[in-house]
C-alpha cells in the first residue's frame, strides 16, 4: 500500500498544475482510504470536476476515486426552484415533447406531462441539495445527453447524476457525441453554433472556430464538458471581436 501522505501530495500537485481547477479559489479536500482517493469540496464548473477526477485517477498508487465534488453554482437556489426551472426546460424543449415528464418530491411522484405509449420515453427527475438526478428512459443517446445538459444549465445545479437508459440500446461512438454537441450548441442562446467546428476522438472533444467574446468561447467549452461521457475538452476557439 503506497504511503497515504505521499499519494495526497501527488494528487494535490496534479490538481494544482491544472489552471481550470483553480485550487486557490476552490480548495479541494483530498483524502486517501483503502487505495481510493476521496475528493471533496466545490469546484468552479463541470469541466473542473471532470478534470480533477481524471487527474486524481492517473496518480501512481491510486486504485479508485470517490467523487464528493460539487459545482459552485452562479446562483444559490433551493431544490424546489431548481426543480421548477428544470421541468420547465423539459416541458418546452422540442426534443422532449413526446416524452412523459415526472418529478419526485419528498418520495411522491408527480406527472407533469404524460404521453401514452413509449414512443418518446419517460424522464423522472429529483433534486436534493442542488444535485439533480435523472432516471427513466429516452429514445436515443442524443436525448440522454441533451437532458443532462439541460440539467447542468439549470441555475443552482451543483451536480448531475444522469441515470437515463436508452431504449432500444444504441452503440455509443464519437459521432454520437458530436451529434449531441451540435444540438446543444444550437440550443444555447449564448453561442453562435455556426461559428464553431468540433471533432471528437475517443470521447475527447476539440473545438475550433472564431467567436466574438471570451465569454462565448468559455460557454462553448462548458457545453462540451456537460455532455455525458465526454472525458476531456480541448478549446482552440479564437476570439475576434
pLDDT at 136: 97
For range 30-36, the mean pLDDT? 95
51 and 83 share a domain?
A: no
SS3 139: coil
Split into its structural domains, the chain has a count of 3
CB atoms within 10 A of CB 90: 21
Q: What is the overall mean pLDDT for the chain?
A: 96
Structural domain that includes position 134: 79-166
d(CA 35, CA 191): 42
The pLDDT tens digits of the residues spanning 52-80 come to 999 999 999 999 999 999 999 988 999 99
For range 198-202, the mean pLDDT? 97
For range 48-52, the mean pLDDT? 97
233: Cβ contacts below 8 Å, ≥ 6 apart: 47, 204, 205, 206, 207, 221, 224, 225
Percent of residues, the chain, with pLDDT higher than 90: 94
Backbone angles phi, psi at 116, to 5 degrees: -75, 140
Q: Is 144 exposed, middle or buried (CB count within 10 Å of its CB: 0-12, 13-18, 19+)? A: buried
The residue from 17, 48, 71 where one domain ends is 71
pLDDT of 118 > 80? The answer is no
For range 104-118, the mean pLDDT? 90
The residue from 115, 141, 166 where one domain ends is 166
The pLDDT tens digits of the residues spanning 132-191 come to 999 999 999 999 999 999 999 999 999 999 999 999 999 999 999 999 999 999 999 999
d(CA 209, CA 156): 30
135: Cβ contacts below 8 Å, ≥ 6 apart: 123, 124, 125, 126, 163, 164
65 and 98 share a domain?
A: no
pLDDT at 116: 82
84 and 161 share a domain?
A: yes
pLDDT at 1: 62
pLDDT of 49 > 80? The answer is yes
Amino acid at each position: 500500500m503506497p504511503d497515504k501522505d505521499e499519494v495526497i501530495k501527488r494528487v494535490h500537485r496534479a490538481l494544482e498544475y491544472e489552471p481550470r481547477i483553480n485550487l486557490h479559489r476552490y480548495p479541494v479536500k483530498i483524502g486517501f482510504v483503502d487505495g481510493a482517493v476521496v475528493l471533496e469540496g466545490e469546484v468552479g464548473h463541470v469541466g473542473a470536476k471532470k478534470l480533477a477526477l481524471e487527474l486524481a485517477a492517473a496518480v501512481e498508487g491510486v486504485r479508485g476515486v470517490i467523487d464528493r465534488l460539487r459545482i459552485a453554482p452562479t446562483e444559490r437556489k433551493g431544490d424546489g426552484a431548481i426543480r421548477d426551472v428544470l421541468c420547465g426546460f423539459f416541458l418546452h424543449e422540442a426534443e422532449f415533447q413526446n416524452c412523459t415528464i415526472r418529478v419526485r418530491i419528498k418520495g411522491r411522484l408527480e406527472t407533469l406531462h404524460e404521453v401514452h405509449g413509449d414512443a418518446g420515453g419517460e424522464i423522472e427527475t429529483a433534486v436534493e441539495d442542488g444535485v439533480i438526478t435523472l432516471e427513466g428512459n429516452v429514445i436515443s443517446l442524443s436525448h440522454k445527453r441533451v437532458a443532462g445538459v439541460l440539467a447542468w444549465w439549470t441555475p443552482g445545479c451543483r451536480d448531475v447524476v444522469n441515470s437515463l437508459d436508452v431504449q432500444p440500446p444504441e452503440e455509443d461512438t464519437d459521432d454520437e457525441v458530436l451529434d449531441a454537441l451540435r444540438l446543444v450548441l444550437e440550443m444555447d442562446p449564448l453561442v453562435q453554433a455556426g461559428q464553431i467546428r468540433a471533432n471528437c476522438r475517443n470521447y475527447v472533444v476539440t473545438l475550433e472556430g472564431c467567436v466574438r467574446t471570451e465569454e462565448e468561447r468559455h460557454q462553448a467549452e462548458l457545453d462540451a464538458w456537460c455532455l455525458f461521457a465526454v472525458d476531456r475538452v480541448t478549446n482552440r476557439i479564437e476570439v475576434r471581436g
